[in-house]
Homo-oligomer: A and B are copies of this chain.
């Protein structure tokens, strides 16, 4: 696949795709004889992973390290697992924060809706 195709498929800009590769967030992508990128299925898997992880706010630094570990063979399996476990822990924490915020938003929206009906906005706590 060309970079244009990958860019469209995953809705990531070509600049970002090149950037991810340059910083080592994904392994080096195959090239055609002319030097153009030729994404294999495996490359696409990395792009998809990157997109998924980044959409949840997993920091780039962690993903670079994860990518580096996978390049070093099977003796890094435990290290990789531990890295993911740590990121999962942080992610869970963020999700809990978000749930709290969601609760607060629901509460406030509800208050405003009641105020629209009654014309009275009660004092918030």
Contact = CB atoms under 8 A, between A and B. Distances in A.
Instruction: Give the size range of A's interface with the partner.
Output: 35 or more
B102 A88 contact: yes
A98 B54 CA distance: 10
Contact of A84 (B45, B52, B109): B109
Q: Taking chain A's interface residues, is the majority helix, strand, or loop, or is none over half, making it mixed?
A: helix
Interface string A71-110: 0001001101100110110011011011111101110110
A102 B109 CA distance: 28
Copies assembled? 2
Given A55-B97, A97-B56, A98-B91, A124 B45 contact: yes
A113 B71 CA distance: 19
Given A77-B116, A121-B74, A124-B45, A94 B101 contact: no
12 contacts: A45-B125, A55-B101, A56-B100, A81-B109, A81-B112, A88-B102, A88-B109, A91-B102, A92-B102, A94-B98, A95-B98, A95-B102
